[in-house]
């Protein structure tokens, strides 16, 4: 099996979930080739040949990020409090395209290609998350969703992930195998 996990992340939390999903997949399928790449590195050559595509991004304004929300997040990140998690994961790490833009140039999936969508989100009372929009786009690109959209909770805008979410992401990743 060849699995590719594509993530968008401003503060590093979605990246941490993506890496945990990758670890879970590798644990469940030691024979699998699993790569975990940021949106900017996920060109068609990286996706080609994958029989499982997992896509995750942060929830911004009840859905997927947009140009303005990403600018706002980067601006806020510059002043985010420092905790035990990486806040902005490397200079220019999120300067590339967001998932919305990336999806526009994603080729249609070969028949039978599986996929799953996840997001990170704050624990807000209002429902909605980026994973629904990601799942919709995957379906439009003819991917077969193997499970429903999944959300992983951060304690606040810059993180960290809520205790136990990393482990839950690994279990979720294993279930995709």
Ligand X SMILES: Cc1cc2nc3c(=O)[nH]c(=O)nc-3n(C[C@H](O)[C@H](O)[C@H](O)COP(=O)(O)O)c2cc1C
Q: 128: part of which helix (H) or strand (E)?
A: none
| 62 or 174: CB nearest ligand X | 62
Question: Applying CB under 6 A, does 58 fall inside the site for ligand X?
Answer: yes
Among 32, 37, 93, 122, the residue binding ligand X under the rule CB under 6 A is 122
The CB-of-61 to ligand X minimum distance in angstroms stands at 5
Question: Applying CB under 6 A, does 72 fall inside the site for ligand X?
Answer: yes
Q: What SS3 class is residue 131?
A: helix
Alpha helices in 60-129 (DSSP H): 67-78, 99-104
| 61 or 171: CB nearest ligand X | 61
Q: Who contacts 151 (Cβ-Cβ below 8 Å, separation ≥6)?
A: 59, 118, 119, 120, 121, 129, 131
The CB-of-114 to ligand X minimum distance in angstroms stands at 24
Which stretch in 19-27, 71-79, 98-106, 132-140 sits in contact with ligand X by CB under 6 A?
71-79
| 69 or 139: CB nearest ligand X | 69
Q: What SS3 class is residue 145?
A: strand
| 31 or 84: CB nearest ligand X | 84
Which stretch in 11-19, 46-54, 106-114, 137-145 sits in contact with ligand X by CB under 6 A?
11-19
Question: Applying CB under 6 A, does 137 fall inside the site for ligand X?
Answer: no
Q: Are 156 and 4 in contact (CB under 8 A)?
A: no
Question: Applying CB under 6 A, does 95 fall inside the site for ligand X?
Answer: no
Closest CA to 171 of 147, 139, 154: 147
Exposure on the CB side of residue 125, measured as CA atoms within 13 A: 0
């Amino acid at each position: 099996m060849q699995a590719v996990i594509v993530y968008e992340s401003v503060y590093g939390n979605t990246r941490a979930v993506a890496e945990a999903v990758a670890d879970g997949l590798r644990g469940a399928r030691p024979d699998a080739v699993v790569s975990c790449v940021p949106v900017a590195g996920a060109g068609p050559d990286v996706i080609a040949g994958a029989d499982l595509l997992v896509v995750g991004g942060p929830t911004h304004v009840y859905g997927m990020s947009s140009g303005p929300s990403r600018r706002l997040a980067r601006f806020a990140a510059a002043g985010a409090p420092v905790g035990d998690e990486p806040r902005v994961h490397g200079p220019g790490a999120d300067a590339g395209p967001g998932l919305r833009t990336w999806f526009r140039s994603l080729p249609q999936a070969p028949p039978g290609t599986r996929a799953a969508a996840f997001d990170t989100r704050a624990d807000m009372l209002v429902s909605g998350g980026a994973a629904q929009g990601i799942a919709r786009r995957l379906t439009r690109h003819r991917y077969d969703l193997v499970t429903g959209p999944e959300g992983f909770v951060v304690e606040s805008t810059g993180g960290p992930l809520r205790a136990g979410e990393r482990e839950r992401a690994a279990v979720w990743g294993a279930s995709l195998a």
